[in-house]
Amino acid sequence: MPQGDKSSYTSKQRRQAEHIEEGYERRGVSKKTAEARAWATVNKSTGGGKKSGSGRGKKTSNASAKKGGRKGGSSQSTAKRSAAGKKAAATRKRNAAKKGGARRSTAKRSTAKRSTAKRSTAKRGAGKKSAARKSSGRRSSR
């Protein structure tokens, strides 16, 4: 089988490669490079040709495809990302104002934590014998 022969690939794999190639071409990649990248992508996800006689039992993995827009070069310009962040902050601020006093302030929270800590310490101490009681117990057992 000569290098570059696609006879061992299924029709589904060919369709996948064609679709991926078109996507690269839309982004301005040359035809030749787009085709090479497309087949490399298909090979990575499917493990090569899937037709009978080309080996068996190779599982497919979509892990790389799922990382698509997140990995590598950024899909969003710095200005757009900044604008999106500002918009999100404004939305959070607006939603917080709507809720009003739904959240407790940090001062109230820390006071509540302290009182809980005191209670748990008191409970722990209640179960223990005092040092005086322990020592008296030792003497009587001797």
What's the distance, CA 63 to chain centroid?
12
pTM, rounded to two decimals: 0.45
**Domain extents in the chain:** 8-49
pLDDT at 91: 95
Measured CA distances, 82 to 28, 45, 87, 90, 93 (Å): 26, 34, 9, 12, 17
* Residue 44 near residue 7 (C-beta atoms within 8 A): no
CA distance 134 to 142: 13
Cα–Cα–Cα angle for 32, 33, 36, nearest 5°? 90
Q: What is the mean pLDDT of residues 71-90?
A: 83
pLDDT at 6: 86
